[in-house]
């Protein structure tokens, strides 16, 4: 039976008095809510989908999914990144099924319709009968691949499925403000942590990154960043936290722990960036699979002037892998807890440490409301 969600879903969340409640459990376990997110959030926002350095050569392609829709990314002849709906215009076959290099043409394996790297239809063999015969009322120009709005900021690829998207500059502006004078475009990728499938809703991974409240309890063996030194970051749709440590605190941190001045920033809905002084950045790609599972990767960047040995880079990889596993355990247990009827009340949020989490949840709720039944 199809679940019907109505405006009463946010009744507890919207209470104007007392401690703020979080989103109800339904927002994390319901496939109906997940489909609303696909329509109301992921089909209307600038969504982070990939890393430009992973498609460096002309003809490189990567299949992706946004809001449950099949898309693909490609490096074209002009060395620009393009994005298209991943369906052939003939019979709507998924045209790209794996990361690869397509050469000079994107060819559908079903009937060999072929497109250039900018999506223009170049060949539709035997469509009109003979090898090169075309029906009189058929136009190559009208049957190219359908483009998707795409923007690349440094190494990070964003797409927007909306016909009238928000300008990318206005979208990215709050993050640039929060970063201050830290020019993250001066960093280069050095290693990727493929974290695979995490058994939790994508929002729990986002919320976990946004708030610092858990750090000294969950990461007491892998980080050395006292809770009292943290503060929330709310800059438009850029949400997170930060910690400023003294030179003495950083010097006292162990060699195998994280103990540096850091900013933990997200940009709604799914971009995640951590900056770690003096020379490190980490960016997460959280890709929702369904209501209760998310695919996660992290790319570690170092400043272009930094000098790290292979062993030091591997140590960074291993440290962050350990931190993520600690977070995953908590997020997967949070997911299980969302199935309790108590979770429909949303729990309560710290009025000091979880203000940015509350703002993130308000962005989710406000995006979803127009899609609820009245």
pTM of the model: 0.95
User: What are 46-105's pLDDT values in tens digits?
Assistant: 999 999 999 999 999 999 999 999 999 999 999 999 999 999 999 999 999 999 999 999
The whole-number pLDDT of residue 48 equals 98
Predicted confidence band of residue 106 (pLDDT cuts 50, 70, 90): very high
Q: Which residues contact 195 (CB under 8 A, 6 or more apart)?
A: 296, 297, 298, 321, 324, 328
The whole-number pLDDT of residue 245 equals 80
The whole-number pLDDT of residue 4 equals 67
Q: Which residues contact 164 (CB under 8 A, 6 or more apart)?
A: none
Token readout for 187 is 């960093």
C-alpha dihedral, 114 to 115 to 121 to 127, nearest 10°: 10
Q: Which residues contact 150 (CB under 8 A, 6 or more apart)?
A: 73, 81, 82, 83, 157, 158, 159, 160
Would you say 183 and 305 are in contact if contact means Cβ atoms under 8 Å apart? no
User: What are 191-224's pLDDT values in tens digits?
Assistant: 999 999 999 999 999 999 999 999 889 888 887 7
CA distance linking residue 351 with residue 19, whole number of Å: 7
H or E segment at 283?
Answer: strand 280-290
Token readout for 74 is 């490609």
Mean pLDDT of 294-323: 96
User: What are 215-261's pLDDT values in tens digits?
Assistant: 889 888 887 777 788 999 999 999 999 988 877 777 777 667 777 88
pLDDT at 374 over 90: no
Residue 204 DSSP SS3: helix
Q: Which domains does the chain have, with CATH numbers?
A: 47-151 (2.102.10.10), 166-363 (3.90.380.10)
Where does residue 103 fall: left (phi above 0), alpha (psi -120 to 50 degrees), or beta otherwise? left
The whole-number pLDDT of residue 1 equals 39
Segments in the chain forming alpha helices (H): 26-29, 31-37, 168-179, 202-210, 215-218, 247-252, 310-337, 355-368
The whole-number pLDDT of residue 290 equals 96
User: What are 312-371's pLDDT values in tens digits?
Assistant: 999 999 999 999 999 999 999 999 999 999 999 999 999 999 999 999 999 999 999 999
CA distance linking residue 343 with residue 322, whole number of Å: 28
Would you say 174 and 268 are in contact if contact means Cβ atoms under 8 Å apart? no
């Amino acid at each position: 039976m199809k679940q019907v969600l109505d405006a009463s879903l946010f009744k507890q969340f919207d209470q104007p008095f007392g401690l703020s409640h979080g989103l109800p459990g339904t927002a994390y376990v319901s496939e109906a809510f997940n489909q609303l997110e696909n329509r109301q959030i992921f089909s209307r926002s600038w969504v982070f989908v990939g890393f430009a350095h992973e498609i460096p050569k002309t003809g490189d392609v990567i299949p992706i999914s946004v809001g449950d829709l099949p898309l693909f990314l490609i490096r074209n002849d002009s060395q620009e990144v393009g994005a298209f709906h991943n369906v052939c215009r003939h019979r709507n076959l998924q045209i790209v099924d794996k990361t690869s290099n397509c050469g000079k043409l994107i060819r559908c394996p079903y009937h060999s319709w072929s497109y250039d790297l900018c999506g223009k239809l170049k060949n539709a063999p035997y469509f009109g009968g003979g090898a090169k015969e075309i029906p009189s009322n058929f136009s190559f120009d009208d049957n190219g691949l359908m483009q998707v709005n795409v923007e690349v900021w440094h190494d990070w690829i964003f797409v927007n499925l909306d016909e009238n998207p928000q300008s990318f500059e206005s979208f990215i502006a709050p993050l640039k403000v929060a970063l201050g004078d830290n020019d993250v475009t001066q960093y280069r990728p050095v290693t990727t942590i493929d974290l695979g499938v995490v058994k939790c809703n994508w929002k729990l991974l986002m919320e976990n990154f946004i708030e610092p409240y858990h750090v000294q309890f969950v990461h007491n063996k892998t980080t050395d960043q006292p809770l009292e030194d943290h503060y929330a970051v709310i800059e438009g749709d850029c949400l997170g936290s930060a910690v400023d440590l003294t030179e003495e605190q950083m010097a006292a941190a162990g060699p195998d722990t994280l103990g540096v001045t850091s900013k933990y920033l997200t940009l709604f809905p799914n971009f995640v960036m951590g900056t770690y002084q003096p020379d490190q950045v980490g960016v997460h790609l959280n890709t929702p699979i369904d209501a209760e599972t998310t695919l996660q990767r992290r790319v570690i960047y170092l400043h272009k002037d930094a000098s790290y040995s292979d062993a030091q880079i591997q140590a960074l990889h291993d440290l962050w892998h350990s931190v993520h596993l600690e977070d995953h355990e908590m997020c997967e247990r949070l997911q299980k807890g969302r199935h309790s009827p108590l979770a429909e009340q949303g729990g309560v949020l710290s009025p000091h440490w979880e203000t940015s989490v509350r703002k993130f949840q308000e962005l989710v709720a406000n995006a979803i409301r127009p899609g609820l039944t009245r």
